Amino acid sequence: MTNTLYDALMGPHQGSERAFLILPDGNALSYADIDRLSARLANLLVAKGVAPGDRVAAQVEKSPEALALYLACLRAGAVFLPLNTAYTPAEIAYFVGDAEPALVVCDPGREGQRDAFMGMSTAPLMTLAGNGRGSLMDAAADMPDSQTPVERGPDDLAAILYTSGTTGRSKGAMLSHRNLLSNAQVLVDYWRFTADDVLLHALPIFHTHGLFVASNIMMMAGGAMIWLSKFDARQVMSLMPQATSMMGVPTFYTRLLDQPGFDRDLAGHMRLFTSGSAPLLAETHRAFEARTGQRILERYGMTETNMNTSNPYEGERRAGTVGFPLPGVELRIMDGGAEVTPGGIGTIEVRGANVFQGYWRMPEKTAEELRPDGWFITGDLATADPDGYVTIVGRGKDLIISGGFNVYPKEVEEVIDALPGVLESAVIGLPHPDFGEGVVAVVARQPGAELNAAAIIEGLADRLARFKQPKQVIVVDELPRNTMGKVQKAALRQEHAALFGG
């Protein structure tokens, strides 16, 4: 029997005593340990009536057991449905109603809110805490620690990940065994991961970055991961000497740069730092190199497509760009039904084995974004330079049209960020009675810096065309971000919606 993704990720490590998950206290779980753990859990899923194709929803803290649950779902032929730990019971209720899981796993602290998030569902609810305790592992303890993975082919679903959806309902991206396997294979090769690698893993595992990009790659390569429940700059620094590589979101890098002891002595030996999930400022890229001698490798992907582009492993990692389409990924930049002329800005479309199967039970949404010939309309605006490096200029929905002119927020943000005293900025469009949308900059000051709106507006006067200049500047201490480091522009637009009386 074959099980496309599980066989490729874990098949070669059967019985291997090599370290797989290294915990901060120095203890490690081997590949064989995780194999036994996931076998017990897979047997439990089957005993609970989870059949191939059924969904298993999990809103749990990161732990070795949580990763084993993902593997158990693959083994049992179930579809893993991880949920952001920040979701409220009301939000969970939507996912449970939409995905109709056959089993739900939550933190023991949430068990008392069962009625709020299970709604009409009669599925069993089990618990798993960040320390591995709870009814899930209690029940699994009695199960056999070997299991033959259920037959699953490349087109069968392995996971559904709900997009972070800032407007409307979030959509469940259906990812097949082939989608996940093809991307893991490409990335192991492209980023040169081997069994000698030890990855600092401080990302959450309810998201594509920590679960698929990081964990799938490391399993495929046979390497080890230093398994951290969350990112803490000091802890990451203390463990860095044991690591060869780290995958991060941009905030990991800015927080490391905030630490005075973070330098070449500490980071110089690392083989690879990657960044993604949100734009890495060119300035951060340069500051990181100046401090450590390391050039961060930035890549670009999304829940629906896995990874699409990457800066090269060898060759120039160009700051501010996301590099080239990965092998096997076709990419085009489209405007008004045609590819843009060189240097033009348009929407990225991608096609390849990495692209998802559509949105769960949303055929209309799927048809809007996934063309019948396989091209997926990402909604990200980008341009490619003459060498083929792709630069993301923002989400399509963040584009501002003011007085009939297109304003690309990133361009304005870069100019603002270069002003003295500015930490970072978010440029948004708000309803404006004359211009349709008015450009507004929300600017975070550097700690201790004096910053006022008038000085910023003055500082931009001869640096940007008038229609791009913010009509209002709002100075704040920090920008709102989600756990993946993405600035929450929709929240900012909502908060300031009435600024121009619109």
Instruction: Name the residues that contact ligand AMP, by CB under 6 A.
Output: 163-164, 208, 276-279, 298, 300-303, 322, 378, 380, 392, 395, 484
- What are the residues facing 325 on neighbouring strands? 309
What's the Rg (C-alpha) of the chain?
A: 23
- What are the residues facing 245 on neighbouring strands? 199, 272
CB of 483 to ligand AMP, least distance (A): 10
**Closest listed residue to residue 50, CA positions, set 77, 71, 82:** 77
CB of 6 to ligand AMP, least distance (A): 23
Tokens of 274: 């990657």
CB of 208 to ligand AMP, least distance (A): 5
CB of 324 to ligand AMP, least distance (A): 13
CB of 170 to ligand AMP, least distance (A): 10
CB of 152 to ligand AMP, least distance (A): 24
CB of 303 to ligand AMP, least distance (A): 3
CB of 295 to ligand AMP, least distance (A): 15
In terms of CB distance, is 147 or 277 closer to ligand AMP?
277
In terms of CB distance, is 210 or 470 closer to ligand AMP?
210
In terms of CB distance, is 65 or 298 closer to ligand AMP?
298
Cα(289)–Cα(172) distance, integer angstroms: 38
The β-bridge relationship of strands 272-275 and 245-248 is: parallel
Query: If DSSP states are collapsed to H, E and C, what string results for 112-156?
Result: HHHHHHHCCCCCCEEECCCCCCCHHHHHHCCCCCCCCCCCECCCC
Cα(143)–Cα(43) distance, integer angstroms: 6
CB 72 within 8 A of CB 64: no
φ, ψ for residue 112, nearest 5 deg: -65, -15
CB of 486 to ligand AMP, least distance (A): 6
In terms of CB distance, is 208 or 292 closer to ligand AMP?
208
In terms of CB distance, is 279 or 352 closer to ligand AMP?
279
In terms of CB distance, is 64 or 485 closer to ligand AMP?
485
In terms of CB distance, is 54 or 369 closer to ligand AMP?
369
CB of 164 to ligand AMP, least distance (A): 5
In terms of CB distance, is 278 or 490 closer to ligand AMP?
278
Alpha helical stretches, state H, 418-460: 453-460
> How far is residue 125 CA from its own chain's centroid?
27
CB of 484 to ligand AMP, least distance (A): 6
Strands (E), 39-124: 55-59, 79-82, 103-106
In terms of CB distance, is 203 or 456 closer to ligand AMP?
203
CB 241 within 8 A of CB 193: no
Give burial (CB, 10 Å; 0-12/13-18/19+) of 134: buried
Tokens of 74: 């693959």
CB 280 within 8 A of CB 250: yes
Question: CA geometry: angle at 438 spanning 164 and 422, to 5°?
Answer: 70
| Residue the block writes with tokens 């399509």 | 396
Strands (E), 193-266: 198-201, 224-227, 245-248
> How far is residue 232 CA from its own chain's centroid?
18
Rounded to a whole number, what is the distance in angstroms from the first to the last CA of the chain? 62
CA distance to 89, 126, 295, 404, per residue, from 56 (Å): 17, 11, 39, 48
The β-bridge relationship of strands 19-22 and 28-30 is: antiparallel
Cβ neighbours, 10 Å, residue 289: 14
> How far is residue 286 CA from its own chain's centroid?
23
